[in-house]
Amino acid sequence: MTGLVRFAPSPTGLLHVGNARTAMLNFLFAKKESARFFLRIDDTDTERSKPEYEAAILEDLGWLGITHDLFARQVERADAHRAAAEKLKAAGRLYPAYETADELDRRRKRQIAMHKPPVYDRAALALTDADRAKLEAEGRKPHWRFKLSNSKVKWRDLLRGDVEIDTATLSDPVLIREDGRFLYTLPSVADDVDFEVSHIIRGEDHVTNTAAQIEIFEALGATVPLFAHFPLLIGAGGEALSKRLGSLSLRSLREDGIEALALDCYLAKTGTSDPIELRPSLDALATEFSFEKIGRAPAHFVPDELTALNARLLHTLPFEAVAPRLAATGIGGGAAFWDAVKPNLTRLSDAADLWTLVSGPVAPVIESTAFAAAAAEHLPPEPWSEATWLAWTAAVGTATGTKGRALFHPLRLALTAREHGPELKKLLPLIGRAKALARLKGETA
Ligand code: GLU
């Protein structure tokens, strides 16, 4: 199949896991179906859109491995949007309305008080040319509404099946504001038309928009794309993700040491019938992608599930995969250190803390000076290997008459000052004889 999907973020903030899931589902679908992926920056809200957010979106998607085949900024397509607006006007589907926000609000409140749905009453359609001229002479500027057909719009949603929405239950959407700027709806449809978007895959919070948008596609004489609306990703407690955006931004997850591939797998699998498990690549995730696997209930974002996936991924990574990042944070020890600590990591950033066990300074915990002295006495000469630990502890055990926890626990406390940690047979050669000896003597080293 050839086709085009689009991810259309507004650069008004950082991407969070919910947005990223939308991007991921579009990307996997495109990969699986050999469609292209269009990244469209929905920046018509010039007050809230910021270039630094656009840059952050590009960086965050790049981090996830989500690449695009096409790119556009809506602000640069104003001519196309104006042309679409003219077409709608010519077709009698775009009309000027002059109510202020206050007037609309009062009307809505009256309707609600009368138990009527708060749908725009189309008073503006009854205005005569003379009425409009009078309003404009008073300095009023119109906003422009799309005239819905007030009929049933139907589509076969690739996720929800047959959907039917009666547009008589909706207010005619405002497409252009008083100041001439476009709201989201018309630029979105006009761009979907011009770029020939074939599939619109997005959250189910857009289902109602889709009914109006389908009418706009039709009014523009364009082919209506296929739609797939998936249940949103919500917080573990059922709350909307935007409320906790800070901690759930891709930026903060990355800074927190989450691996891109762990998040890729999480985003691809959460809310599906597949288990949330590691896959080796985006290609593998794409092969397994199917709308049929996406459940009808909202997917819950459970940070612990992501962290567990991250830990499992780290445990499989070879040293080469992390070497530059370890080096960048001043962590030495090469492959031997990585091999020693990776089973203990949840996040790569945990490695920095464990590196201090090797590099020091460690203020040792000595439970028994006599025991520590005996242990120091039996430290074999270097060179050391993983086998050193076994030979050494056997000798210390014999000398002190200890075994099991009574033998190993004081050694761990003396060498690392911690109750738990990486396997000592792997750490010991990294710590080295000089430091091990000093620590056994109770010296900070
Ligand atoms: N910019 C819109 C949003 O972020 C795009 C929605 C859509 O997919 O049409 O909600």
Tens digit of pLDDT for each residue in 137-193? 999 999 999 999 999 999 999 999 999 999 999 999 999 999 999 999 999 999 999
Q: Does the beta carbon of 187 lie inside 6 Å of ligand 1?
A: no
CA dihedral 129, 134, 135, 141 (to 10 degrees): 70
- So what's the pLDDT on residue 247? 67
pLDDT of 36 strictly over 80: yes
Percent of the chain whose pLDDT exceeds 90: 95
Q: Does the beta carbon of 224 lie inside 6 Å of ligand 1?
A: no
- So what's the pLDDT on residue 235? 87
Q: Where does 369-440 sit in CATH, by number?
A: 1.10.10.350
pLDDT of 245 strictly over 90: no
Contact 66, 23 (CB under 8 A): yes
Tens digit of pLDDT for each residue in 37-60? 999 999 999 999 999 999 999 999
Indicate the class that CATH gives domain 81-176.
alpha beta
Average pLDDT, the chain: 96
Q: Tell which one of 5, 6, 10 to mutate to probe ligand 1, the residue whose CB is within 8 A of the most ligand atoms.
A: 10
Q: Tell which one of 188, 224, 229 to mutate to probe ligand 1, the residue whose CB is within 8 A of the most ligand atoms.
A: 188
The model's confidence at residue 237, banded by pLDDT at 50, 70 and 90, is confident
Indicate the class that CATH gives domain 4-74+185-233.
alpha beta
| Domain ranges, ordered by start, for the chain | 4-74+185-233, 81-176, 246-316, 319-359, 369-440
Tens digit of pLDDT for each residue in 312-362? 999 999 999 999 999 999 999 999 999 999 999 999 999 999 999 999 999
- So what's the pLDDT on residue 238? 84
The model's confidence at residue 204, banded by pLDDT at 50, 70 and 90, is very high
Mean pLDDT (whole number) for 383-401: 97
Mean pLDDT (whole number) for 86-98: 98
- So what's the pLDDT on residue 239? 84
Tens digit of pLDDT for each residue in 248-279? 899 999 988 899 999 999 999 999 999 999 99
The model's confidence at residue 243, banded by pLDDT at 50, 70 and 90, is low
- So what's the pLDDT on residue 244? 59
- Residue 109 alpha carbon to ligand 1 centre in Å: 28
Q: Does the beta carbon of 202 lie inside 6 Å of ligand 1?
A: yes
Tens digit of pLDDT for each residue in 208-220? 999 999 999 999 9
CA dihedral 38, 41, 44, 45 (to 10 degrees): 140
Closest-lying ligand 1 atom to the alpha carbon of residue 192: 9
Q: Does the beta carbon of 64 lie inside 6 Å of ligand 1?
A: no
Q: Does the beta carbon of 10 lie inside 6 Å of ligand 1?
A: yes
Q: Does the beta carbon of 225 lie inside 6 Å of ligand 1?
A: no
Q: Tell which one of 42, 61, 73 to mutate to probe ligand 1, the residue whose CB is within 8 A of the most ligand atoms.
A: 42
Assigned fold of 246-316: Glutamyl-tRNA Synthetase; domain 2 (1.10.1160)
- So what's the pLDDT on residue 388? 98
- So what's the pLDDT on residue 241? 81
Closest-lying ligand 1 atom to the alpha carbon of residue 213: 9
The residue nearest atom 6 of ligand 1, judged by CA position, is 8
